[in-house]
Amino acid sequence: MSITLKIVVAESSAIIRSGLEMMLKKLSGMNIKVIEADSADKLLELIRHNQPDLLIINPAFPGCFSLQQIKDESRCPDIKCLALIYSLMDQSLLRGYDDQINIYDSTDEIRHKLERLHEDEANESATDEQLALSTREKEIVVCVVKGMTNREIADRLYLSTHTVITHRRNIARKLQIHSASGLTVYAIVNKLVELDEIKT
């Protein structure tokens, strides 16, 4: 069975971007769509618009933000991130990545890494299917924890107030949490928010 993946490649070098895209498209047993980002300005919009499965990014991508900021601002909090390595790099810059791709990796090595990430994601979703919040529900939890009203959440996420209320009802049912303070604890434990983001 073929694995279908949508991947954003964030790299300023056109040669490296094109070479990686060509290699990814040749991987056997995989149907891969590659979206290229050549600047930090375009990156967030491309992720937000395409909702890719994976982001392959040069950790030294010019003008780039932290991985968490990319996930938050692109509204794609569950995206898997791979560091694209082609020179010696401070290991502290690689914290938070799900894996690494080195330009010296063989096609087999790259295919195995992508298969493993896809498998991990499939296992996570199968295990958590009943209790897992959708990306939209997680966004709403974050807004609630930050003290926003249903109207403010609706405006921020371009939804109707009725849709926000429906999402909040589903969140309460899935998590069995019926208070903002309970959601705050959930959001902190599951790293959806940092302590300094919470309205006291």
Dihedral over alpha carbons 89, 121, 137, 36 (to 10 degrees): 50
Give 56's strand partners. Answer: 9, 82
Q: What are the structural domain ranges in the chain? A: 3-127, 135-197
Q: Where does the pLDDT of residue 198 fall: very low under 50, low under 70, confident under 90, or very high at 90 and above?
A: confident
**β-bridge pairing 80-85 and 54-57:** parallel
Q: Domain 3-127 in CATH: superfamily?
A: Response regulator (3.40.50.2300)
What pLDDT is attached to residue 33? 94
φ, ψ (nearest 5 deg) of residue 84: -95, 110
Mean pLDDT of 103-111: 88
CATH class, domain 135-197, is: mainly alpha
Per residue in 13-27, pLDDT (tens digit) is 999 999 999 999 988
| Rounded Cα gap, residues 149 and 159, in angstroms | 13
- Structure token pair of residue 143: 């807004």
Among 42-51, 120-129, 146-155, 187-196, the range scoring the smallest mean pLDDT is: 120-129
Among 5-9, 139-143, 170-174, the range scoring the smallest mean pLDDT is: 170-174
Q: Where does the pLDDT of residue 129 fall: very low under 50, low under 70, confident under 90, or very high at 90 and above?
A: very low
What pLDDT is attached to residue 134? 86
